[in-house]
Amino acid sequence: MTAPLVSVSVVSHGQAALVRALLADLRQYAGDIALEVLLTVNLPESLPDNLANLPFEVRQIHNTVPRGFGENHNRAFAQSSGAYFCVVNPDIRIGQAVFSALLSVLADARIGVVAPLVVNSRGEVEDSARLFPSPLKILCKALGRCREQDYAIETALVAPDWVGGMFMLFRSQVYRQVGGFNEKYFLYYEDVDLCARLWLQKLQVVLAPPVRVVHDAQRSSHRKFRYLRHHLGSMLRFFLSATYWRALYLRRMG
């Protein structure tokens, strides 16, 4: 196979059916972009049996114990060989040639990460590009208010404070430079923290609205106490971190 240009990291939590659909999308819409997929099996499961028939290599990483979001992607990155590193959730569906368009954005060395516009299955824009959170804003949302988007989404590139971790594309050099995800976050806020550290290194976070992917968010933190506990713990860790306050100051002053 051709040496990969983009290494795609996918973590499955008993989601073989979603993985199968995502791999089919990658096969159809990768175009002439050479890929490799690093598929982390975080929970024991039977994977699709046609992995060897894909036009790109799928390298499997089997965990003996479940690991957190950031640790899984960092371990995948350590085994990757592409000049670019892409984090993709298994419940993402791709319907266009996303990589060529996003790679053209990363041609600007000032940009640290680029993400596509994320919509749900009804075509409604997901809240995946946001201002840095604040306790007051979170309380407002919890009370059913503050539902408006933080940024006006049209066709031009947007430079939000952070983008959601369901789809993020980095130059591998930048991902290595910033140290990848902070593994102290087991689940939630890893993406916010990483984007904050990019800003601290004077690298922009960019959303590319013309490039769209579909995401059906599970919202586990709204249904299961265990996920809610992770969410609240990660939120507290972020708000108490020097990274948050330094990045917040930098963004407000910039």
Task: Please tell me the distance from the alpha carbon of residue 23 to that of residue 94, in angstroms, as a whole number.
Answer: 10
Per the prediction, the chain carries an average pLDDT of 91
Name the residue among 31, 30, 28, 35 with its Cα closest to residue 3. 35
| 138 inside domain | yes
18-26 mean pLDDT: 94
Contact 234, 186 (CB under 8 A): yes
- Which residues 6+ apart lie within 8 Å of 15 measured at CB? 45, 90, 91
CATH number for the domain harbouring residue 234: 3.90.550.10
Predicted local distance difference test score (pLDDT) of residue 221: 43
224-239 mean pLDDT: 82
Largest Cα separation within the chain, whole Å, is 52
Task: Please tell me the distance from the alpha carbon of residue 216 to that of residue 155, in angstroms, as a whole number.
Answer: 22
Give every strand in the sheet of 84-88, ordered side by side: 57-62, 35-41, 6-12, 84-88, 167-171, 111-119, 204-215, 92-94
Predicted local distance difference test score (pLDDT) of residue 170: 98
- Which residues 6+ apart lie within 8 Å of 230 measured at CB? 186, 187, 188, 221
| 233 inside domain | yes
| 87 inside domain | yes
Q: What is the DSSP letter of 37?
A: E
Place of tokens 């790679």: 103
Q: Does residue 102 have a pLDDT over 90?
A: yes
| 1 inside domain | no
44-66 mean pLDDT: 87
Q: Does residue 35 have a pLDDT over 90?
A: yes
Structural domain range at position 197: 6-253
C-alpha 101: how far from chain center: 17
Q: Does residue 223 have a pLDDT over 80?
A: no
What is the pTM (predicted TM-score) of this model?
0.92
174-190 mean pLDDT: 95
The larger pLDDT score, comparing residue 133 to residue 179, is at 179
30-49 mean pLDDT: 90
| 120 inside domain | yes
Q: Does residue 148 have a pLDDT over 90?
A: no
Polymer length of the chain: 254
What is the total count of domains within the chain? 1
Predicted local distance difference test score (pLDDT) of residue 254: 67
- Report residue 168 as tokens: 């993020």
> What confidence category does residue 238 fall into, taking pLDDT thresholds of 50, 70 and 90?
very high
Of 88-102, 114-128, 224-238, give the lowest mean pLDDT range.
224-238
| 111 inside domain | yes
Predicted local distance difference test score (pLDDT) of residue 225: 62
6-20 core/surface letters (b: 16 or more CB in 10 A; e: else) = bbbbbbbeebeebbb
Percent residues over pLDDT 90 in the chain: 73
Q: Does residue 166 have a pLDDT over 60?
A: yes
> What confidence category does residue 220 fall into, taking pLDDT thresholds of 50, 70 and 90?
very low
SS3 at position 229:
helix
Task: Please tell me the distance from the alpha carbon of residue 230 to that of residue 225, in angstroms, as a whole number.
Answer: 9
Beta strands in the chain (DSSP E): 6-12, 35-41, 57-62, 84-88, 92-94, 111-119, 129-130, 162-163, 167-171, 204-215
> What confidence category does residue 222 fall into, taking pLDDT thresholds of 50, 70 and 90?
very low
Q: Does residue 141 have a pLDDT over 90?
A: no
Name the residue among 92, 89, 56 with its Cα closest to residue 73. 89
The larger pLDDT score, comparing residue 14 to residue 6, is at 6
Q: Does residue 49 have a pLDDT over 80?
A: no
